Amino acid sequence: MKKSLCVIFSGVLLASCGSSEEIKYEQYLVNGEQHYLKHCSNCHQADGSGLKDLYPPLAGSDFLNNKELVICLIRNGMSGEIKVNGKVYNQPMPGNKQLYELDIAELTTYIYTKWGNSKEITEVSSVKKTLGECKTKE
């Protein structure tokens, strides 16, 4: 009970102290982390370090240089070889077709904040546009 009161209180405090954009950003980070832990961390690990020679890291990854491709991979997955930081990986990545565009926006915001040196929101409109374009590439 105490924990839930603290969460509610901190949310009220945050709402009263921050701009709507700051609140949205914090919400995206919290929700994005939850999506990451549920859908991504099993392979990429909670700290983004990847899993030995099987699954590539996200932390310090040159692959994060292409956000549109990352968004497409989150939704559609991939198979075949992929090169990350000069190292080749060849394990399939399942798509997450059950994720809504908002979920992907939150997840991408979290990943890029945590490991991509970006402190900006990935907007739902951007995810929607990117997903529409990557469908034609399948």
Amino acid letter, 22 = E
Q: Catalogue all structural domains in the chain, each as residue range(s) with its CATH number.
A: 21-135 (1.10.760.10)
* DSSP assigned state of 116: S
C-alpha to C-alpha distance for 138 and 127, rounded to whole angstroms: 16
- pLDDT tens for 29-54 read 999 999 999 999 999 999 999 998 99
> Where residue 17 falls among pLDDT bands split at 50, 70, 90?
low
What DSSP letter does each residue of 49-111 carry, written as one string?
Answer: --BTTTB--STT-GGGG-HHHHHHHHHH-B-S-EEETTEEE---B---TTS-HHHHHHHHHHH
Check the CA dihedral 119-40-82-55 and report its sign.
Answer: positive
C-alpha to C-alpha distance for 126 and 107, rounded to whole angstroms: 13
Q: Of 38, 28, 33, which Cα lies nearest the Cα of 106?
A: 28
| pLDDT number for residue 137 | 46
C-alpha to C-alpha distance for 56 and 70, rounded to whole angstroms: 13
